[in-house]
Amino acid sequence: MTADPILQLRGINKSFGPVQVLHDVAFSVCPGEVTALVGDNGAGKSTLVKCIGGIHPIDAGEYWFGGKQVRVHSPRDAAALGVEIVYQDLALCDNLDIVQNMFLGREKRRGLVLDDATMEEMAASTLAGLSVKTVKSLRQRVSSLSGGQRQTVAIAKAVLWNSQLVVLDEPTAALGVAQTAQVLELVRRLADNGLAVVLISHNMNDVFAVSDRIAALYLGRMAAQVKASDVTHAQVVELITSGRSGDLGLTESNGAAA
């Protein structure tokens, strides 16, 4: 790792009833880097992210954040550490404007009334810090925004709260070429601003466009976590589909297909 990891998961196990979804997963994320989390459907990506975000408690293993072992029992605990997750559905309210969405549930108040001026100033500052120029007005309703603009608002909302780690779940899945390029630029900018970023994506072009590292899950096991510059597109696809590529990945003894 180029810097000390902000997040380290060690030996993470998670089961739902008799079904074990995660098997001794190790996963590290460093500040200033984009780490792509890839894997086929059912590989355990969503479960791992929900363990990071405090939605699912881990059954066994260690969760380290900022060099200290911590216990995360709820999304509130994760947010208190500085972990923000932008899920695929974005969790935005169409009938509210950009500022209202960014502060939803965390509104600033002055006495008994909402402090609209401070919230608008903070929202504008956050978007400016991310060099976002595609939004015309902070008072636009989210229903009037394009898919790329909605994704931008959701990411800015995550960054607003002094986050140290931002997890993005398929941020370009429903976007066209131009909007995808805008969102990928924003993802890269988050890391360049010093945040740790986890990018979940099925699009290998997106993964290689912005990622510093790639972590490949296979049937609930971490097949490999490597520098993006050290692997090819074909190797990553092999890790996703079989858990192994040449000398890289799982062995038969720890769960790879023969």
Average pLDDT, the chain: 92
Side-chain half-sphere CA neighbours of 92 within 13 A? 30
Q: Which CATH architecture has domain 7-254?
A: 3-Layer(aba) Sandwich (3.40)
Nearest to 181 by CA among 156, 161, 210, 153: 210
DSSP for 150-199? HHHHHHHHHHTTT-SEEEEESTTTT--HHHHHHHHHHHHHHHHTT-EEEE
Per-residue pLDDT tens digits for 137-184: 999 999 999 888 999 999 999 988 879 999 999 998 878 888 889 899
258 vs 38, 203, 236, 243, 253, CA distance in Å? 21, 26, 18, 10, 10
Beta bridge partner(s), residue 20: 15
- pTM for the full predicted model: 0.90
pLDDT exceeds cutoff 80 at 257? no
Q: At 202, which amino acid appears?
A: H
Residue 38 pLDDT greater than 70, yes or no: yes
